[in-house]
Amino acid sequence: MKFQITLVLFLIHSVSYSQQFYFGSDLSYTNMMEDCGAVFKEDNAPKEVYRIFSDNGFNLARFRLWYEPTWQNSLVQPGGVKSQYHDFEDVKEGISRAKAAGMQVMLDIHFSNFWTDPAKQIIPPAWVGVATNITALKDSVYNYVTKVLTALNSDSLMPEIVKIGNENNSGILRHTTLTSTYTASGSVSSDWSRHAQLYNIAIKAVRDVSLTTSIKPKISLHYAGTSSLSWWYQNIISNGVTDFDIIGFSYYYAWHSGSITNLGNVINTMKTSFPGYEVMVVETGYLWSSQNYDALGNIITTPDPQYLPVIPEKQREYMVDMTREVMKAGGTGIIFWEPAWVSTPCRTPWGQGSSQEHVAFFEVDNYNFMANGAGTWPLSEHFSDLTTHKVTFKVDMTGTEAPNGAWITGTFTGTDWQILPMVSEGNNIFSFTTYLHAGDSGAYYFLNDSSWTARETVPAACAAWWNTDRGYKIGETNVVYTSKWGTCDPIGPPSEVNVTFKVDMTGQDVSNNVWITGSFTGSSWKILRMSPEANNIFSYTTKMHPGDSGAFYFMNDDVWGKRESVPSACAPWWGSDRGYKIGEKDTTYGFLWGSCLGLGEYNPVEDKFVSTRHELRVFPNPCNGMLNINYRSSGEPIRLEIFNLNGKILKSIFPDPLLDGITLDIHELLPGIYFLRLSHGKELIYRKIVRCE
């Protein structure tokens, strides 16, 4: 049941949480998406998009403001699309619509014409002339903030929160140039005493304007990540920036890693270390699909392994669990980044479409609001009592007719024993999640339809209630109950998983196709043909059992002897062959032909998959001399290395750990194929790069 919530301020009533909590969404792209052809719907009927959010419990909308984003004029957009967005007029429209829908507003002032983040804090060209004149630059900042807020207030659009800057890990207003590849260059200063003066003058402008306004905006700062969060805020405070209200930070599992429990610990630490300040996750996001539905690459691609499979219901579960943890730790809000950035014909600097269509709260094809996804995460039913524990019931329906899916009922569903649908997790596994108190106990059973006559027959050996129903008893921790339909057997590991082998044949002769052989092909080691993919990649997929292990190698002909020569460092079988060991999840083994270099996430030297939370991006690739490298840094030391096909290191760079990207000049490299490696502690990420003529 969905509750309609239209309160401007959403109050949570529970034993452990009773203060105002912000359920926020960054809706900066929303106006543009409508101009680009998106007609947002709920229950398949067109509806004012801001009302969709407020009716589903959101009480805060965030909007980014750029100074003069004229760079957008060069993008070729469909007819009817304005030349610029995220400027004052666009933000003013968004604030007006959000407030009309009953939401408060956070104004996100980037102090730039472009996105700012740990790698880019580009000064507006109009201010570059005074970039090194701190007195004149402060004057520009003060006048700008004053002008913006005064104009908004005159139209009754004063924001409730003003965020000074965006992901300012490396400082504020510190670069002079936006390059042709949309990266930053020309660092003015890394002096924190300078940055502090700019923060303070912007804060003063907010306070001065609010002296005569009815809405007195809170002020937030913004750091990206959790690793050096305490250091950053202590540093900024030590430099004299103290007159703000909210310790804001970004947290994405895909880039910052760490469990939801760890996030709660971070917030607890910040609350203890910096009393008097609110702590807020001012930017986050989580995916509901691993698929890319358009030509623009997805940004968020790594799910939390505790929330698999990647489906809309798990996106909602992740956000609910995150919010409960943030509340219990004393945080005051969460803002989801760009849940209305759907796929349209419009373009960004990097291509056509959206990088968030697999994260947005709307169906890809028709822009209908997905009630089973994270768009309903703020509803009060999830947070009425934070003293409860998460309880998950799972059933394996293998061998059972269930054309309408699986269902569950029990004492926890209410005195009337409602029949509730379960979520399909694939492989005939269905789940249902709820929240119960320690000490709660009762009965339940599964059904293969929404009818009372569709119930399972529970064997007497596990019919703990009334000799007919399964039983549960809740302890002090989260718990998962699993069963195979109509049996006392728990759900075990899968009998089979998908295993994919991939090889990069760049520079090799593939005129006779590409082949694979190994112990998995039978005792006679059959030679099997691989399928071509893009970029000289060939693949072969089969099914194996968890625990299987053995040898394999690639061939460029179906004749024995036409095989690759595997380096001894990655030839665990007989010193000549590659090896595999199958776990309980679908797995991909990928390599460069005749090399230990892995493709994607696999680290062949350590014989395991490694985290890719840095989301290493390299562009343009191929390139003719200047290579842009973007990654998410945790503030810890990073090494970037470029080496050739023989493994010789040609470049080794230690970038500033507070930045999230650099631009490399590789003109000295001859045209050809090379590899880039990012090293971060035990994490290794590889990317193939091509230096063209």
Active-site amino acid positions? 167, 283
Cα-Cα-Cα-Cα torsion 435, 437, 439, 443, nearest 10 degrees, comes to -40
SS3 state of residue 227 = coil
In angstroms, the CA 336 to CA 285 distance is: 5
Which whole-number Å values give the CA distances from 585 to 499, 503, 693, in the listed order?
9, 20, 42
Query: Within 596-665, where are the H helices?
Result: none
The percent of the chain in helix, strand and coil, each rounded to the nearest 5, is 20, 30, 50
Tokens of 634: 């945790």
Query: In terms of Cα–Cα distance, which of 82, 88, 99 is closest to 33?
Result: 82
In angstroms, the CA 533 to CA 371 distance is: 36
DSSP per position, 594-611 = TSS-BSTTEETTTTEE--
In angstroms, the CA 290 to CA 416 distance is: 38
Q: How is the beta sheet containing 389-396 ordered, strand by strand?
A: 423-426, 429-436, 389-396, 479-484
**CA 349 to the chain's CA centroid:** 20
What type of residue is 363? E
Question: Is residue 355 a contact partner of residue 299, using CB atoms and an 8 Å limit?
Answer: yes
Kindly give the interhelix angle for 260-273 and 229-238, rounded to the nearest 10 degrees.
20
In angstroms, the CA 260 to CA 276 distance is: 24
In angstroms, the CA 563 to CA 515 distance is: 9
Question: Is residue 611 a contact partner of residue 257, using CB atoms and an 8 Å limit?
Answer: yes
Tokens of 640: 């970037």
CB atoms near residue 364 (< 10 Å): 17
In angstroms, the CA 374 to CA 316 distance is: 4
Query: Considering Cα of 644, then 648, then 650, then 656, what sign does the dihedral take?
Result: positive
Tokens of 512: 């006779």
Give Rg (Cα) of the chain: 27
What type of residue is 53? F
Q: Which helix (H) or strand (E) holds 328?
A: helix 312-329
Tokens of 39: 């007609």
- How many residues in the chain? 693
The owner of tokens 């106990």 is 441
CB atoms near residue 561 (< 10 Å): 6
In angstroms, the CA 28 to CA 341 distance is: 9
Question: Is residue 570 a contact partner of residue 605, using CB atoms and an 8 Å limit?
Answer: yes
Query: In terms of Cα–Cα distance, which of 567, 532, 543, 537 is closest to 553?
Result: 567
Question: Is residue 134 a contact partner of residue 194, using CB atoms and an 8 Å limit?
Answer: yes
Quick check: bond before 567 cis, omega within 30? no
